[in-house]
Amino acid sequence: QVRLQESGPGLVKPSQTLSLTCTVSGDSITTDYVSWSWIRQPPGEGLEWMGVISYSGSTYYSPSLKRRASISRDTSKNQFTLQLSSVTPEDTAVYYCAAKYGLETNRDSYDYWGQGTQVTVSS
Segment 10-66, tens digit of pLDDT: 999 999 999 999 999 999 999 999 999 999 999 999 999 999 999 999 999 999 999
User: What is residue 108's predicted lDDT score, i.e. its pLDDT?
Assistant: 80
Mean pLDDT for the stretch of residues 3-7: 98
Mean pLDDT for the stretch of residues 57-86: 98
Asked if residue 25 lies in contact with residue 96, where contact means CB atoms within 8 angstroms, the answer is no
Q: Is 90 in a helix, a strand, or coil?
A: helix
